[in-house]
């Protein structure tokens, strides 16, 4: 269903040209439950204006829904496509639990710019989970920006740890 998209790498895209490179190289898969719907819509506008292509997997209103189905469909498509994902629920925790059930997904519930940065640099996280009830819109935008702009460090210790996680997935 999805074409594989190349990951954004700072080395392959000079900062002065970041918006055009982001648009060409990275598709963001996004989803939420009812609690995260408003924040999802705000993040979509922000990310599209920053040059990202988005695929929205719902929900499409504030009508109460169960978050696992939305978290799963985004995570599953992230694992298949190589794109990054953003999931939003009330706390960010429920979505991260669901997303981490999918082989190949490393979802991180981030609550500030630092956690977003290290989730990417140290853990090669590919799904950002946000809590709409605990973050202000401006904070969420900053967190998403840092998450999407930060590359995996590729330092040996971080590569080794991510490989350990991948090996654990094979045992499950």
**Active-site residue 172, yes or no?**
no
Do residues 94 and 83 touch, judged by C-beta distance below 8 A? no
48 vs 46: CA distance, rounded Å: 6
Strand order in the sheet with 107-109: 53-56, 27-32, 84-89, 127-131, 107-109
Task: Tell me whether residue 110 is one of the annotated catalytic residues.
Answer: no
Pairing of strands 53-56, 84-89: unpaired
Which listed residue (122, 129, 158, 172) is catalytic?
A: 122
Spatial distance between the Cα atoms of 121 and 125, rounded to a whole number of angstroms: 8
CA angle 116, 120, 126 (to 5 degrees): 100
Q: Pick the catalytic residue from 13, 21, 89, 129.
A: 89
Answer whether 96's CB lies under 8 Å from 109's CB: yes
List the catalytic residues.
89, 122
């Amino acid at each position: 269903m999805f074409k594989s998209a190349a990951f954004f790498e700072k080395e392959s895209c000079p900062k002065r040209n970041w918006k055009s490179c982001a648009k060409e190289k990275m598709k963001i898969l996004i989803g939420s439950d009812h609690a995260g719907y408003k924040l999802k819509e705000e993040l979509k506008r922000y990310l599209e204006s920053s040059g990202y292509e988005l695929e929205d997997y719902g929900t499409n209103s504030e009508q109460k829904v169960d978050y696992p189905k939305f978290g799963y469909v985004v995570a599953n498509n992230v694992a298949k496509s190589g794109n990054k994902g953003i999931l939003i629920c009330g706390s960010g925790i429920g979505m991260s639990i669901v997303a981490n059930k999918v082989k190949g997904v490393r979802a991180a519930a981030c609550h500030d710019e630092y956690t977003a940065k290290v989730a990417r640099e140290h853990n090669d996280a590919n799904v950002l989970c946000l809590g709409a009830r605990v973050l202000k819109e401006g904070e969420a935008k900053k967190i998403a920006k840092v998450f999407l702009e930060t590359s995996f460090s590729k330092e040996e210790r971080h590569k080794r740890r991510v490989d350990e996680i991948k090996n654990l997935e094979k045992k499950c």
